[in-house]
Structure 1
Amino acid sequence: MASTVEKRGISGDAKMLSDAKVRAAKPRPKSYKLSDANRLFLLVTPSGGKLWRYGYAYDGKQKTLAFGAYPQVSLSDARMKRDEAAGLLAEGHDPNVVKKLKIEATMEAARQTFEKVAREWHENAKAQWASVHAADVIRSLERDVFPTIGELPIGQLTPPLVLAVLREVEARGSIETAKRIRQRISAVFVYGIAQGIVKDDPAEKLGAVLKPLRKGRQPAITDLVPLRKMIIAAEEDYARPVTRLALRLLALTAVRPSELRGAEWVEFEGLNGPEPLWRIPSSRMKGDLDRKDELNGDHLVPLTPQAIAVLKALWPLTGCGPLLFPSNRHTHRPMSENAIGYLLNRAGYHGHHVPHGFRAAFSTIMNEWAEREGKEHDRKVIDLMLAHVPTGKVEGAYNRAAYMPRRRELALSWAAMLTDGLPDPEELSERPSKVMGEHSRRRLPSPVAADFRFPSRMKAA
């Protein structure tokens, strides 16, 4: 019976093919073969295609293995593939089956992306961690790693690719965060090695080339635009609404974190009037015993409309108790001293900005502003707003209520610059929370009405 493929070409004992013969082969009405040695042949189709084929017998059956098309696969490449297939036959393997297994293995390797393996690792490991830490770990990968290398096959990642991810984190000043992320990437690779997905860990040795941690004064972002960017990033975290609002009020008032944590509603005066004020008792202020016993040692913080908006958003959450920022577990105790710091860390700013850093940011930005505006006199006012006692003054002889009108003006300028582009505080209280303990306590009505007024006496409602 006649074959659909015209049996024309060079016989087995004739000369082998050459590049010139392959190039010169022209299409014919029917497909035909040009044979090379050891059952390798070129199939020329009527459309002009030139396809490399290898004929072989396996388990009593005649089979054909495709090697690709000419010129993408050259004559020498086709012979190399033929020799590899012949070697497999000699070992008892069917070359077609081996080829299909390799294709499937390659496809499976492509499916094993870094993000897929990382999420499997996280799911496997999170049982040994606290829930807050487990959430921090996966969030750091989602923020800093997955956008760059998450879709790449994990087996194709190299040290330079991983280092590029870490350099991006370092570039924003988050030196320690970069080190922690390297450890987490390395842990993913160790998991992949154990699962047989990858063979080595390209992140293993990168710790030696990362930037060293800064030492000395507490880190702070002192440029306005990066400062706003950091606040936005931190406020998007799945934190307690109370913690988000604490961060915003700390940034607006530039008080010490300890003074913020212990704030009580009774310390706030005139919240419904034109000149609202936060009077921090001298007993809660940093200083020596003379100040703590001083009659007029209270620190006065003029409140801006932006700060009042924070208090309005906070009132339904904690207005039932004495503290503005109580612990989630114990309402009579202040929030953890680490709560705001952890919030900044989770946003990727560990080692770059701490809660106390808002004071440095306020001082630097406002002093530069005063210099640009030609208001050198404002330097002493800014120091007073930070509760700094000028050189040569003693605690008891310092007028803490001085320059109040100017202090209020500077507070307004600072708040306007700081909150440009930031979301409304009411939105912060409505964002998803990882700990919803506030809802287990009695809540006050939300002050969304334009005519909302705080109680005349700020104490537990």
Structure 2
Amino acid sequence: MSLAEARAERERLRALVKTGRNPAYAARVARAAKLELAETTFGAIATELLAKRAREGLGSGSVKRERRLLEKDMAAISSLPITDVTAPLLLASLRKLEKRGVIETAHRARSWAGRVFRYAIATGRANNNPAEDLVGALEQSQTTHLASVTDPAKIGDLLRAMYSYQGFPVTSAALRLAPLLFVRPGELRKAQWADIDLAAAEWRFTASKTGTPHIVPLSSQAVEILTELGPLTRRSEFVFPGVRSAKRPMSENTINAALRYLGYDGNTITGHGFRAMARTVLDEVLGFRPDYIEHQLAHAVRDPLGRAYNRTAHLAERKKMMQAWADYLDSLRLNANVVPIRKAV
């Protein structure tokens, strides 16, 4: 501190004393205010929320994406007190993503920011959610549907090819389970034996996209495949361990690579395409209620009051649906001349 700065500080403290204030107390208040400000910036609250979601089972890939949104895409508002982040300021950050041509990322960032504001409101550090004011303000992205097979005859051909796969047994099991369970590819490859109860015929885990608990009822066919797989991989925590190390799950490209080996390119079917297959056929061919299907896809389904249903919603009906789905896939695979039964109009 220079002499001039010391004199200025002396005069400031004298002024405090003259007004009856304790300089030491004022310094503590200033430090507390500075600390509170540091803990209530948009970035600090977002980091806190991200750590909470990671502890609750958010996938490592999602953690990386959300951290990248905070540190790169939303850096302009990260250091601001969250109460100072207005809709125009948030929109300015999102517009930068639009200008880069990553429209889907801009929409994802708005949704993610909304989650941060909701958490801040719940913890008493914000009063409103400006992300909600930006609904419709961004350009609409062009939806590209992932490749899938939904024609029953072609599904039968695909299943027969998959069951003829002669590669690594763990990959073969994953291939056969993918259409039966129609979970997200990352959830399938990272499945852990500790989450699977073969006696109860259930697989319980945290959905990677929503971060909420999810239940997959296991059909008798799925239980049979997992029972056969057990002796091969039970020594690993992962149901589908990697080829090089049992301490890691199989590669994210394994199922797609197996499909390519069988002659199915990325424009025909992908590991994610089994979800579209199930969604379409369960509704249009087998006639199951859309809300049962949405629950089983681990989508965010809400009741008429806007509350999220819990993971056990319609569980009995979903168990029947999953068994009917497995039986239907078997019928397509085993009988090339199956005529699909259409739902009643």
Deviation at 1:370, TM superposition (A): 4.4
For residues 278 and 400 of structure 1, the distance between their equivalents in structure 2, rounded to whole angstroms, comes to 12
For residues 251 and 233 of structure 1, the distance between their equivalents in structure 2, rounded to whole angstroms, comes to 13
Deviation at 1:394, TM superposition (A): 9.8
Is contact 2:302-2:308 (8 Å) kept?
no
1:366: which partner in 2? 282
3-state SS, counterpart of residue 285 of structure 2: helix
Identity of aligned residues (%): 35
For residues 320 and 264 of structure 1, the distance between their equivalents in structure 2, rounded to whole angstroms, comes to 11
The answer to which structure has the higher helix fraction is 2
- Per-residue CA deviation, residues 341-365 of structure 1 (Å, 9 max, x unaligned), is 0111111110200010000000000
Query: 2:197 aligned with 1:286, yes or no?
Result: no
Is contact 1:221-1:352 (8 Å) kept?
yes
1:235 pairs with 152, 163, 172, which one? 163
3-state SS, counterpart of residue 262 of structure 2: helix
2:154 pairs with 226, 229, 232, which one? 226
In structure 1, list runs of 5 or more residues that go unmatched: 1-214, 424-461
Deviation at 1:306, TM superposition (A): 0.4
For residues 393 and 267 of structure 1, the distance between their equivalents in structure 2, rounded to whole angstroms, comes to 31
Mark the CA change 1:321 to 1:365 in structure 2 (over 3 Å): closer, same or farther: same
After superposition, the CA RMSD in angstroms is 2.2
The answer to which structure has the higher strand fraction is 1
For residues 224 and 306 of structure 2, the distance between their equivalents in structure 1, rounded to whole angstroms, comes to 33
Q: Within 5 A, what are the aligned runs for 1:123-134? A: none
Query: 2:244 aligned with 1:316, yes or no?
Result: no
Mark the CA change 1:399 to 1:391 in structure 2 (over 3 Å): closer, same or farther: closer
Q: TM-score, normalised by structure 2?
A: 0.52
Higher relative contact order (CA 8 A, sep 6+): 2
Is contact 2:302-2:309 (8 Å) kept?
no
3-state SS, counterpart of residue 420 of structure 1: helix
For residues 251 and 172 of structure 2, the distance between their equivalents in structure 1, rounded to whole angstroms, comes to 13
2:314: which partner in 1? 403
Deviation at 1:308, TM superposition (A): 0.3
For residues 358 and 367 of structure 1, the distance between their equivalents in structure 2, rounded to whole angstroms, comes to 14
Is contact 2:185-2:271 (8 Å) kept?
yes
Mark the CA change 1:261 to 1:394 in structure 2 (over 3 Å): closer, same or farther: farther
3-state SS, counterpart of residue 251 of structure 2: coil
Aligned letter for 2:322? Answer: A
For residues 223 and 333 of structure 2, the distance between their equivalents in structure 1, rounded to whole angstroms, comes to 15
Is contact 1:257-1:356 (8 Å) kept?
yes
Mark the CA change 1:278 to 1:357 in structure 2 (over 3 Å): closer, same or farther: same
For residues 162 and 306 of structure 2, the distance between their equivalents in structure 1, rounded to whole angstroms, comes to 36
Paired residues in the alignment total 191
For residues 305 and 187 of structure 2, the distance between their equivalents in structure 1, rounded to whole angstroms, comes to 21
1:380 pairs with 291, 294, 302, which one? 291
Is contact 1:370-1:379 (8 Å) kept?
no
2:179: which partner in 1? 251
For residues 394 and 370 of structure 1, the distance between their equivalents in structure 2, rounded to whole angstroms, comes to 29
3-state SS, counterpart of residue 263 of structure 2: helix
Deviation at 1:391, TM superposition (A): 6.4
2:339: which partner in 1? none
3-state SS, counterpart of residue 331 of structure 2: coil
2:218 pairs with 285, 303, 313, which one? 303
For residues 240 and 420 of structure 1, the distance between their equivalents in structure 2, rounded to whole angstroms, comes to 26
For residues 394 and 338 of structure 1, the distance between their equivalents in structure 2, rounded to whole angstroms, comes to 40
Q: Within 5 A, what are the aligned runs for 1:4-153? A: none
Q: TM-score, normalised by structure 1?
A: 0.39
Mark the CA change 1:403 to 1:238 in structure 2 (over 3 Å): closer, same or farther: same
Is contact 1:234-1:346 (8 Å) kept?
no
Aligned letter for 2:312? Answer: A
3-state SS, counterpart of residue 408 of structure 1: helix
Aligned letter for 1:281? Answer: T
For residues 249 and 216 of structure 1, the distance between their equivalents in structure 2, rounded to whole angstroms, comes to 25
Higher radius of gyration, 1 or 2? 1
